[in-house]
Copies of this chain bind each other. A is one copy, B any other.
Amino acid sequence: MKIIEFAKLGNPADVLKLKELPSRLPGAGEVRVKIIATPIHPANLLQIAGQYAATPELPAVPGGEGIAEVVEVGDGVEHLKPGQRVLMAGAGGTWRDELTAPATSFIPAPQGDAEQLSMLAVNPLTAHLLLTKFTDLSEGDWIIQSAANSAVGEMVIQLAAQRGIRTVNVVRREILIPGLKSIGGDVILTDGPDLAERVMKETGGAPIVLAFDSVAGETFERLMSTLAFGATIVSYGVLSGQLPQLNLTSVIANDVHVRGFWLAKWYETASQEDRQAAFGTLMPLFAGGQVKTRIDSRFPLEEISEAVTRASESGRDGKVLLTPNAD
């Protein structure tokens, strides 16, 4: 089998190496799978470069999610059979062409668009949890988000649109507006000091009950100022590197709740039921094509250097996938 490995931190195109190892037969309770597709995320590249919160033990295999097909199962594995599609989610080391691991590492997946399913367990899952964990949203409710053109932001737009939830989407550049309109964004505005007034004008003053922010700094402050009494703002990133000032008038007099979300912690603490509920909702949407992540390009493991180079280019249009077993 082939794996992608890095033995030291550094520029991904330099430090990542393809390595061949013998296959490992599944032991009791284990499953051997061949990997169909696994995405390259910015967080993977940051981790390889040593710029991520958690530094891995080296050598390490990157990759946090993907889709695979069961090749063979060990003793005692009843619910998975050869040929079954499975998700790899919440575990590391997916940039490889096959993997032998405990059956509990794999989530049975439907047939359908395998590439879409391979990118479900990070960004779409984050968007889904943002939309479900904090506030009971009903059809017609308004929410607002920053960094609306991020992978999570685009998923929020699509998943909200599926449920009839209306989105105000804040971006930094006007050029991004038509793309977000086309995937179902209701209102798309560029960030700026008068954001709250422009939001009110566009929504007709409808109450905004939930905000998602991954920019922090003044953008967080401005999103907060658009919110209705009793609304919640969820922070899930600090892209600007700036901490916001906390508007205590919003918190005290307007009863705005401030919360945070971190997917790694969700994977640590989610119950089996939580996982089934989340994946059970998302998989049919992505398998059937109602919701889509844009794909820029596909690379075999042998072209890992080209793949990570492409993944870090600003001109790309969507995700870069590794497809280790493509013809």
> CA A248 – CA B245 in complex, angstroms?
11
Q: Is A265's CB within 8 Å of the partner chain B? A: yes
Residues of B within 8 A of A256 (CB): 260
**Would A235 and B262 count as touching, CB distance under 8 A?**
no
Q: Can you list, as one digit per residue, whether each of A262-292 has a CB less than 8 Å from chain B (1) or not (0)? A: 1001000000000000000000000000000
> CA A9 – CA B286 in complex, angstroms?
64
**Would A258 and B257 count as touching, CB distance under 8 A?**
yes
- Closest-CB distance, A55 to chain B (whole angstroms): 15
Interface residues of A in 49-94 (CB under 8 A from B): 53
> CA A250 – CA B248 in complex, angstroms?
17
> CA A2 – CA B252 in complex, angstroms?
36
Q: Is A24's CB within 8 Å of the partner chain B? A: no
- Closest-CB distance, A148 to chain B (whole angstroms): 19
- Closest-CB distance, A319 to chain B (whole angstroms): 23
Q: Is A192's CB within 8 Å of the partner chain B? A: no
Residue from B235, B257, B261 in contact with A259 in the complex, judged by beta carbons closer than 8 Å: B257
> CA A261 – CA B250 in complex, angstroms?
11
Number of copies: 2
Given contacts A216-B248, A246-B245, A246-B246, contact A262 B258 (CB under 8 A): no
> CA A254 – CA B53 in complex, angstroms?
14
Q: Is A251's CB within 8 Å of the partner chain B? A: yes
> CA A258 – CA B255 in complex, angstroms?
10
Residues of B within 8 A of A250 (CB): 260
Q: Can you list, as one digit per residue, whether each of A193-223 has a CB less than 8 Å from chain B (1) or not (0)? A: 0000000000000000000000010001000
**Would A243 and B252 count as touching, CB distance under 8 A?**
no
**Would B247 and A255 count as touching, CB distance under 8 A?**
no
| 5 A-B interface contacts by CB (under 8 A) | A235-B251, A236-B252, A245-B245, A255-B265, A257-B258
